[in-house]
Structure 1
Amino acid sequence: MKVIETSLEGVLIIEPKVFGDHRGWFMETYSDVKFSESGIELNFVQDNHSFSAAKGTLRGLHYQLNPKAQTKLVRCTQGAIFDVAVDIRKNSPSFGEWFGIELSVENKKQLLVPKGFAHAFITLTDNVEVQYKVDEIYSSENDRSILWNDPEISIKWPKDIIPILSEKDENAPQLKDAENNFYYGE
């Protein structure tokens, strides 16, 4: 397993080691031992799996407030997505900054999105499946979102795709107005 730091502290690209031959391939998508050896200490408690039928489906920017904040380990198991993490920790030197990466069934990369970051993705193909592990159970009363195209954040979404949004995501507040109890260094 290869761990690659990104421009945002704590957001990591995980590249699992893939073993392949004429029959196909095998990889470990998560190993508590290997993550611990890489300095990543997590206790995942829930696996989530989403399906998006149409190219352009955009889900996010989502997060949960403390004390139910979640770290997510995201991977795409069918098709491809552009996956984004946004630093929403108050007083962070990178507050409001974002990192994006293509995750696909072909590249097998994963993105680790820590607590204090909002998360979103847009599908780059039809028939996309995304699976992710979280270290806290879903909590509807702590579930929050930020507007996907907030001009303060200025995410550079793929230009050739028209987003398909839920009503919740379409009407989400901008970062400046979003409820947020994350602080850098805590």
Structure 2
Amino acid sequence: MMILKITKFFLVLCMGAWWQYSYADIGKSLSLNELIERANYIVYAKCDKVESFWRNNKVFTGYGFSLIDSIKNDVQYINIETIGGTALHPLLKTKISTNVPGSVNFKLSDKVILFLNKNEENGQLNVVGGSQGVFRVKVDEKGNKSVVTFVKKAKLDIKNSKAELLHESIKLDEFILKIKKIINN
């Protein structure tokens, strides 16, 4: 049992170090204009595949998305990988879960607008700015309009170790139009 705890601690430590160097711009707040500028592709898509696995002693999760609409540049199908998830450890034969702050995760059938860039070395698509490059599409309170919900402002209460996120919603078609206007200007 002690070996399992030590192994988990070591894995979390390694993951944290890897994340620190791999996701340097996650900590920087990006405006919509910056997201658009950094993205090779902007798409409206639906998650249709979720699969976690081990690679190089780390847990990753692969996500597949079916394209609903190309907003910036055309792409047929989107595959992205994120660090973190839950997968059976190949040696310990137990499920290990890792959660990396700033990394994104999705559920089957999630509809999202993704801001993606392409890694020139391996061709892999990555979400721009971590979770900042993901806008979740939901149905409004009345159950009839698709809206994009995003964090408008974060209130931090350091003394009590609390954070409150203030969300705002915009109609999906208005959000897509806003992005297209920025691209065309």
Using the size of structure 1 for normalisation, the TM-score is 0.26
Higher relative CO (Cα under 8 Å, sequence separation at least 6) belongs to 1
The TM-score, its normalising length taken from structure 2, stands at 0.26
Between Structure 1 and Structure 2, the one with more helix by share is 2
